[in-house]
Amino acid sequence: MLECKKCKRTLPEDHFRIASKKCYKDRGYRNPVCKECTYGYVPLTLKRKYNTTKVCLICKEELPIDRFAITTFPYRSSYCKKCNNKKRQEKRNADGTEKTRSKRKGIQKYGISIETFNKMLEDQNRKCGICGISLKEYKEKSNRDFSVDHNHTTNKVRELLCSNCNTGLGFFKENVEILQKAINYIEKHNV
Q: By three-state DSSP, how is residue 157 classified?
A: strand
Cα(118)–Cα(92) distance, integer angstroms = 16
Domain boundaries, the chain: 1-47, 51-92, 101-189
| pLDDT digit string, tens, across residues 65-77 | 888 888 776 677 8
pTM above 0.85, yes or no: no
- Which of 115, 126, 116 has its CA nearest to residue 156? 116
| pLDDT digit string, tens, across residues 3-61 | 888 778 888 887 777 776 665 656 666 777 887 777 665 555 544 445 578 888 889 99
| pLDDT digit string, tens, across residues 117-148 | 889 989 999 999 999 999 889 888 887 888 88
Question: How is domain 101-189 classified at the architecture level of CATH?
Answer: 3-Layer(aba) Sandwich (3.40)
The rounded mean pLDDT for the chain is 79
**Do 68 and 52 meet the contact criterion of CB atoms below 8 Å apart?**
no
